Amino acid sequence: MRVLNCAGARRQLEAYHDEELTISQQIEVSAHLEWCDSCAETLAGLRQLRAEVRSAAPGRAAEVVEASIDVRA
């Protein structure tokens, strides 16, 4: 396992947040976040942004669920 510096970790934070990394990449970023408060704060900001976007369009999730139910029926 390679050790990431902040630049390497930040390049991968969005993909890490979206669970798009390989297992080994997830482990590398996660290990970096354990000791780097700055990168951990950046990830927390991404999570906050995601929560705000989801709360701004509360009916959107219901439409997607309803559409998938209709397709299965």
Q: What is the pLDDT of residues 17-62, one digit of tens each?
A: 999 999 999 999 999 999 999 999 999 999 999 888 888 876 665 4
Query: What's residue 54's pLDDT?
Result: 82
Cβ atoms within 10 Å of 4's Cβ, excluding its own: 20
Identity of residue 10: R
> Quick check: 12 pLDDT over 70?
yes
Residue 10: count other Cβ atoms within 10 Å of its Cβ. 18
CA-based R_g, the chain, Å: 16
Q: How far is CA 43 from CA 12, 40, 51, 59, 62, in A?
A: 10, 5, 12, 26, 27
Q: What is the pTM of this model?
A: 0.70
CA atoms of 7 and 24, how far apart (whole Å): 18
